[in-house]
């Protein structure tokens, strides 16, 4: 099972020496909910090319939601990597505009569909297999049982978000700014790009929230950890995503080292993850489907 | 004169479906009991869908059925059988969000497929991905602006459906799992708990940033009266009203208002926008704004210091029957009213007219002064003829 690890400008040099199968980097205008992304320009691509020479497999996160004015940026990306001949192992995408551009530029076989909530059953995987892409990332609210059911008949290698803060809300609206505009704060923009938390009146959880150039994002209160389930997941999925958003670089490096050790069967200090949880692995959310009967 | 787009209305049950069509909708979208979001809406079983389709087709109108959940593995059971049943019933299209449902529908049926707003499609390339795979129409993300829509329309190869009225997800649709985390209810399988409309406290490094006002993400409802002219000029194919869980009064008022507005604009008649704004307000139970029509939203599109919506009390009765000989109408009470009240009649195709209620009695003939009981069937004398599905309401007061 592959370990694919998020990396930013500050962390990539440390992470490239670890025994991971790939580093996932973001570009500021094309990627969202990623720490420390690269700028979309020739210098960045040349830097990444240098890193690639260390036999690091590079994955790119292009998970933005693109409106009409954003489309040229996708073209710029493909032109830059083609001009620089930057070897990419995979391109994680959510917006189908990326598929269209990748197809035009001959990158379909590098694509990994990562819409976060849309890949929920075997037929989805079958559909994407027919589009000739490399892999799909399963939806984040899948139980372990459902992951197994999807894996049993999967024609595609499956990828799973296995560690980090799961995003649970993305609005295009600047909801922090509008709130401080409403309360007539002198500088309604002062919390942009800062980590805030929201707490609902009758619940105890503090949910991380960030407003940035893509809008407003809210995350689950506890990060997901998958150490206990690696043996099971090895049978079901091809690659795990380990995400570093909200972690200090040193802490994230420790997490990555722990996954490398755990996958080798070595024991790790589980107490380091007491403040994590198991996401939706055992949380089957409610949906009651009634039986379908003609005329019934 | 420009081509008229389709006016598409929601319906949670057969009564609402018929009212939407009678009051001027060209098509209605409904949810089946399976594979559809809005689980709390009173969704249709197959015999209801068949009756709705028959009713619509007799009027030369259309019925679309939402199959817009993102199904988990066990939810796929019965999907092929269900879609084939919809095809047999001759529904005009299905509205899908999941690639799995789209794939199954296009493999096993000839149903027309519309891609739901749950896919949050915001650009022509993403639309064309689906168009190449046989999709006839896409429902655009509510975040698309009018300016973006102009560009998008020139390059998209599928028909475009645009929301013009009703509630708005504050998140990109289909991308939100607030309910899943906070209430164990799957927002993408019909269980949305509207957690985005709850009140929160906002913190930075443990310190509360909101002193007296709860932090909220709630958005105003969408209302597009002023933008219909531009949407007609751009040439979108369908204008969509949201609200399968809304009342018959809401559906009748909103549909009738947009119907008249579209017809006047298409006929190059100078429209009286304030008149339409006043009329649409009669159905408003939450403050409204123009959403993303003019660009990125700001504070004026958000709701603060409001805990819940305020249902309008102005709709007082639905007309069930009218006897031209006695000039009496059998009505069903929906909100309290009394003798002496001035009553406005909302009727498909006609401007509202008002009369003073002089007599009121029960079905048994007992004369009463006040009608306090919900759903009570009553008889009133009217100075002019009424029709079944006419609605009685209190005149709007600012």
Interval B279-293: pLDDT, tens: 999 888 889 999 999
Structure letter (DSSP) for residue A29: T
Equal CATH topology for B6-301 and B315-393:
no
The shortest C-alpha distance from A17 to chain B (Å) reads: 33
Our measurement of the distance from residue B124's CA atom to the centroid of its chain's CA atoms, rounded to an integer in Å, reads 25
The shortest C-alpha distance from A146 to chain B (Å) reads: 7
pLDDT at A296: 29
Q: How far is Cα B289 from Cα B6, in angstroms, rounded to an integer?
A: 22
Indicate if A90 and A137 belong to the same structural domain. Answer: yes
Indicate if A37 and A147 belong to the same structural domain. Answer: yes
Q: Categorize the per-residue pLDDT at B245 as very low, low, confident or very high, splitting at 50, 70 and 90.
A: confident
Burial of B311 (0-12, 13-18, 19+ CB in 10 A): middle
Mean pLDDT of chain A: 93
pLDDT (mean) for A85-107: 97
pLDDT at B230: 97
Angle of helix A122-130 relative to helix A144-152, nearest 10 degrees? 40
Question: Cβ contact (<8 Å) for A182 and B202?
Answer: no
Listed in sequence order, the residues at least 6 apart from A128 whose beta carbon sits closer than 8 Å to its beta carbon are A113, A119, A136, A156, B99
pLDDT in tens, A209-241: 999 999 999 999 999 999 999 999 999 999 999
Q: Categorize the per-residue pLDDT at B50 as very low, low, confident or very high, splitting at 50, 70 and 90.
A: very high
Q: Categorize the per-residue pLDDT at A60 as very low, low, confident or very high, splitting at 50, 70 and 90.
A: very high
Question: Cβ contact (<8 Å) for A170 and B217?
Answer: no
Indicate if A158 and A95 belong to the same structural domain. Answer: yes
Indicate if A97 and A181 belong to the same structural domain. Answer: no
Query: Class of the B315-393 domain?
Result: mainly beta
Indicate if A136 and A233 belong to the same structural domain. Answer: yes
In chain B, which residue's Cα lies nearest the Cα of A169? B176
In a domain, A91, yes or no: yes
The shortest C-alpha distance from A69 to chain B (Å) reads: 8
pLDDT (mean) for B232-247: 93
Indicate if A77 and A186 belong to the same structural domain. Answer: no
If contacts are CB pairs under 8 Å, which of residues 220-259 in chain B contact chain A? none
Give yes or no for residue A290 having a pLDDT over 50: no
Could you please report the per-residue DSSP string of B146-186? HHHHHHHHHH--SEEEEEEEE---SSPTT---HHHHHHSB-
Indicate if A245 and A182 belong to the same structural domain. Answer: no
Q: Please tell me which of the candidates A118, A130, A176 has its beta carbon nearest to residue B98.
A: A118
Question: Cβ contact (<8 Å) for A199 and B180?
Answer: no
Q: Categorize the per-residue pLDDT at A98 as very low, low, confident or very high, splitting at 50, 70 and 90.
A: very high
Which residue in B57, B3, B8 sits closest to B258, CA to CA?
Answer: B8
The CATH number that applies at residue A51 is 3.20.20.70
More confident residue, B177 or A129: A129
Instruction: Sketch the domain layout of chain B as residue ranges.
Output: 6-301, 315-393
Q: Please tell me which of the candidates B73, B100, B178 has its beta carbon nearest to residue A149.
A: B73
Indicate if A10 and A140 belong to the same structural domain. Answer: yes
Q: Please tell me which of the candidates A117, A171, A191 has its beta carbon nearest to residue B204.
A: A191
Question: Cβ contact (<8 Å) for A168 and B98?
Answer: no
pLDDT in tens, B77-97: 999 999 999 999 999 999 999
The shortest C-alpha distance from B44 to chain A (Å) reads: 10
Indicate the pairing of strand B27-31 with strand B6-10: parallel
Question: Cβ contact (<8 Å) for B98 and A124?
Answer: yes
Q: Collect all residues of chain A within an 8 Å Cβ-Cβ radius of residue B44.
A: none
ipTM over 0.90: yes
The shortest C-alpha distance from B384 to chain A (Å) reads: 40
In a domain, A282, yes or no: no
In chain B, which residue's Cα lies nearest the Cα of A117? B175
How many Cβ atoms are within 10 Å of B102's Cβ, its own excluded? 25
Indicate if A13 and A151 belong to the same structural domain. Answer: yes
pLDDT at B36: 77
pLDDT at B312: 64
Q: Collect all residues of chain B within an 8 Å Cβ-Cβ radius of residue A285.
A: 179-180, 184-186, 189, 191
Q: What backbone phi and psi angles, to 5 degrees, belong to B369? A: -100, -30
Q: List the end-to-end C-alpha distance of chain A, in Å, as a whole number.
A: 47
In 3-state terms, chain A is what percent helix, strand and coil (to 5)? 35, 20, 45
Q: Collect all residues of chain B within an 8 Å Cβ-Cβ radius of residue A179.
A: 202, 210, 213, 215-216, 302, 304
- Number of folded domains in chain A? 2
In chain B, which residue's Cα lies nearest the Cα of A181? B299
In chain A, which residue's Cα lies nearest the Cα of B170? A171
Q: How far is Cα A57 from Cα B229, in angstroms, rounded to an integer?
A: 52
pLDDT at B396: 64
Mean pLDDT of chain B: 92
More confident residue, A60 or A50: A60
In chain A, which residue's Cα lies nearest the Cα of B301? A178
Q: Categorize the per-residue pLDDT at B40 as very low, low, confident or very high, splitting at 50, 70 and 90.
A: low
> Which of residues A179, A200, A219 is at a domain's end?
A219
CA dist list (Å): B220 to A98, B273, B288, B302 = 32, 20, 5, 5
pLDDT at B398: 44
Question: Cβ contact (<8 Å) for B170 and A123?
Answer: no
- Residue B347 is encoded by which pair of tokens? 């009727």
Give yes or no for residue A288 having a pLDDT over 70: no
Give yes or no for residue B311 having a pLDDT over 90: no
pLDDT at B395: 78
Query: Class of the B6-301 domain?
Result: alpha beta
Question: Cβ contact (<8 Å) for A289 and B186?
Answer: no
pLDDT in tens, B225-235: 999 999 999 99
Indicate if A162 and A262 belong to the same structural domain. Answer: yes
More confident residue, A282 or A174: A174
In a domain, A207, yes or no: yes
pLDDT in tens, B331-352: 999 989 999 999 999 999 888 8
The shortest C-alpha distance from A33 to chain B (Å) reads: 14
In a domain, A51, yes or no: yes
Residue range(s) defining the domain that contains residue A157? 2-166+223-273
Indicate if A138 and A123 belong to the same structural domain. Answer: yes
pLDDT (mean) for A128-157: 96
Indicate if A113 and A205 belong to the same structural domain. Answer: no
If contacts are CB pairs under 8 Å, which of residues 338-357 in chain B contact chain A? none
């Amino acid at each position: 099972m592959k370990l694919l690890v998020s990396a930013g400008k500050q962390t990539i040099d440390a992470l490239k020496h670890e025994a991971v199968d790939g580093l996932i980097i973001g570009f500021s205008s094309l990627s969202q909910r990623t720490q420390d992304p690269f700028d979309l320009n020739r210098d960045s691509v040349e830097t990444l090319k240098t890193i690639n020479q260390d036999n690091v497999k590079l994955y790119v996160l292009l998970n933005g939601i693109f409106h009409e004015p954003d489309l040229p940026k996708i073209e710029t990306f493909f032109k830059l990597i083609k001009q620089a001949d930057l070897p990419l192992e995979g391109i994680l995408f959510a917006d189908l505009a990326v598929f269209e551009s990748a197809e035009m530029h001959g990158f379909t076989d590098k694509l990994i569909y990562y819409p976060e909530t849309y890949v929920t059953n075997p037929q989805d995987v079958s559909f994407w297999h027919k589009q000739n892409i490399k892999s799909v990332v399963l939806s984040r609210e899948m139980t372990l049982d459902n992951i197994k059911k999807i894996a049993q008949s999967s024609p595609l290698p499956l990828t799973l978000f296995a560690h980090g803060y799961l995003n649970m809300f993305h609005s295009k609206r600047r909801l922090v700014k509008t709130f401080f505009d409403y309360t007539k704060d002198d500088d309604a923009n002062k919390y942009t790009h800062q980590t805030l938390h929201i707490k609902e009146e009758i619940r105890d959880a503090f949910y991380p929230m960030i407003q940035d150039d893509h809008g407003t994002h809210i995350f689950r209160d506890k990060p997901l950890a998958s150490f206990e389930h690696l043996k099971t997941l090895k049978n079901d999925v091809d690659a795990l995503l380990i995400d570093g958003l909200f972690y200090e670089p040193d802490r994230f490096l420790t997490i990555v080292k722990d996954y490398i050790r755990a996958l080798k069967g070595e024991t790790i200090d589980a107490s380091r993850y007491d403040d994590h949880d198991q996401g939706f692995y055992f949380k089957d959310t409610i949906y009651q489907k009634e039986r379908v009967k003609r005329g019934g | 004169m420009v081509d008229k787009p389709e006016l598409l209305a929601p319906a949670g049950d057969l009564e609402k479906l018929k009212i939407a069509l009678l009051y001027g909708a060209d098509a209605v979208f409904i949810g089946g009991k399976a594979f559809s979001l809005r689980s709390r809406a009173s969704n249709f079983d197959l015999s209801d869908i068949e009756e709705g389709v028959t009713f619509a087709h007799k009027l030369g109108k259309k019925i679309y059925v939402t199959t817009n959940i993102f199904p988990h593995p066990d939810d796929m059971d019965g999907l092929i059988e269900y879609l084939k049943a919809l095809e047999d019933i001759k529904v005009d299209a299905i509205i899908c969000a999941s690639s799995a449902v789209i794939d199954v529908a296009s493999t096993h049926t000839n149903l027309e497929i519309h891609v739901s707003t749950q896919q949050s499609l915001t650009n022509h390339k993403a639309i064309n991905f689906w168009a190449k795979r046989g999709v006839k129409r896409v429902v655009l993300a509510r975040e698309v602006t009018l300016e973006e829509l102009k560009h998008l329309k020139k390059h998209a190869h599928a028909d475009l459906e645009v929301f013009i009225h009703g509630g708005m997800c504050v998140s990109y649709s289909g991308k939100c799992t607030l309910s899943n985390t906070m209430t164990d209810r799957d927002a993408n399988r019909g269980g949305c708990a509207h957690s985005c409309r709850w009140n929160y406290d906002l913190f930075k490094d443990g310190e509360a940033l909101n002193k007296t006002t709860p932090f909220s993400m709630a958005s105003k409802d969408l209302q597009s009266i002023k933008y219909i002219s531009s949407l007609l000029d751009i040439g979108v194919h369908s204008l969509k009203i949201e609200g399968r869980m809304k009342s018959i009064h809401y559906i009748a008022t909103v549909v009738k208002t947009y119907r008249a507005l579209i017809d006047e604009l298409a006929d190059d008649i100078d429209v009286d926008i304030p008149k339409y704004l006043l009329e649409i307000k009669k159905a408003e139970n939450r403050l409204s704004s123009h959403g993303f029509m003019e660009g990125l939203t700001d504070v004026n599109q958000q709701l603060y210091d409001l805990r819940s919506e305020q249902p309008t009390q102005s709709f007082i009765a639905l007309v069930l029957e009218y006897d031209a000989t006695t000039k009496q109408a059998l009505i069903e009470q929906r909100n309290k009213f009394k003798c002496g009240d001035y009553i406005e009649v909302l009727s498909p195709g006609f401007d509202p007219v008002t009369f003073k209620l002089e007599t009121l009695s029960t079905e048994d003939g007992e004369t009463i002064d006040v009608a306090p009981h919900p759903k009570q069937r009553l008889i009133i004398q009217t100075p002019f003829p009424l029709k079944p599905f006419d609605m009685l309401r209190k005149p709007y007061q600012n």
